[in-house]
């Protein structure tokens, strides 16, 4: 089962992904997480992605498509995957479809988390995340521990470099211009499930469960 989590940066895709992977027993595949891990390790892939990520721009399609093809070919993804942050362009969606066609697989659902830009700006500027497990906090709404040590995994809690005001504005612009056309793309295929991303994570989780059936 391939499920896509679609939505602007800060919509809560990572938070909801954690609940969904538990529920469906499929791996969470976040292209952003994969790029950040590669960047931390200074791999050629990470170094190639670095400049784009720092500007809030998209990494070129061919690089992302190759990466996702490799990831979906791993054994843990044989029964499916939860795709978070991919596809982000129509070209990526077409490449995913071609890849899945070859394996007689299909995207089961595209879950859209809807949140307005003003709320996204508030969420992203105050966001703090664990470098190791990806857990999230917000300086105003859910402050991290003062020692900035993750209580779940002892990892370091930090602010992503692309969560600065300027970069966030660019990421939102990129989302509206390059990624939001995917809403109509998946709607036309009859598999788009839109969920309001405002509210408590548990409420949103329940709305997602209902939408996915
Ligand atoms: P995210 O953690 O999903 O917000 O991704 C962080 C950054 O990684 C994005 O701003 C892009 O620079 C890059 N990235 C992640 N996924 C993709 C993708 N599917 N296509 C292009 N760039 C991506």
Probe target for ligand 1 pocket from 5, 32, 70, 89, with the most ligand atoms within 8 Å of CB: 32
pTM of the model: 0.93
pLDDT tens digit sequence for 89-117? 999 999 999 999 999 999 999 999 999 99
Query: Residue 128's closest CA among 116, 120, 137?
Result: 137
* Percentage of the chain lying above the pLDDT 90 cut: 92
Sheet architecture: strand order including 192-196: 28-30, 81-84, 2-6, 107-114, 192-196
> What's the mean pLDDT in 149-159?
97
Ligand 1 neighbourhood includes 136 CB (under 6 angstroms): no
3-21 burial by CB neighbour count: b if 16+ within 10 A, else e? bbbbbbbbbbbbbbbbbbb
| Euclidean distance between CA atoms 129 and 184, whole angstroms | 31
The structure tokens listed for 202 are 């548990």
Is 67 within 8 Å of 56 (Cβ atoms)? Answer: no
What residue's CA is closest to ligand 1, atom 12? 53
The pLDDT value recorded for residue 124 is 95
Domains of the chain in sequence order: 2-116+168-212 (3.40.50.300)
pLDDT class for 213, splitting at 50, 70, 90?
confident
160 is catalytic: yes
Ligand 1 neighbourhood includes 53 CB (under 6 angstroms): yes
The pLDDT value recorded for residue 50 is 95
The pLDDT value recorded for residue 134 is 87
Query: Residue 204's closest CA among 5, 16, 8?
Result: 16
């Amino acid at each position: 089962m391939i499920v896509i989590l679609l939505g602007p940066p800060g919509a809560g895709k990572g938070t909801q992904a954690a609940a969904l992977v538990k529920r469906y027993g499929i791996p969470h595949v976040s292209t952003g997480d994969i790029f950040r891990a590669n960047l931390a390790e200074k791999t050629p892939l990470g170094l190639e992605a670095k400049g784009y990520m720092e500007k809030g721009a998209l990494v070129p399609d061919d690089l992302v498509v190759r990466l996702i093809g490799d990831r979906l070919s791993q054994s843990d993804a044989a029964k499916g995957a939860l795709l978070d942050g991919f596809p982000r362009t129509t070209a990526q969606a077409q490449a995913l479809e071609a890849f899945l066609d070859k394996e007689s697989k299909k995207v089961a659902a595209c879950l859209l988390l809807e949140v307005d830009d003003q709320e996204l700006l508030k969420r992203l500027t105050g966001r703090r995340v664990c470098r190791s497990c990806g857990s999230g906090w917000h300086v105003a709404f859910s402050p991290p521990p003062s020692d900035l040590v993750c209580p779940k995994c002892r990892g370091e809690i930090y602010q992503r470099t692309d969560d600065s005001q300027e970069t966030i504005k660019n990421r939102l612009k990129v989302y509206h211009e390059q990624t939001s056309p995917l809403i109509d793309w998946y709607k036309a295929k009859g598999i788009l499930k839109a969920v309001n991303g405002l509210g408590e994570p548990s409420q949103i989780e329940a709305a997602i469960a209902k939408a996915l059936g």
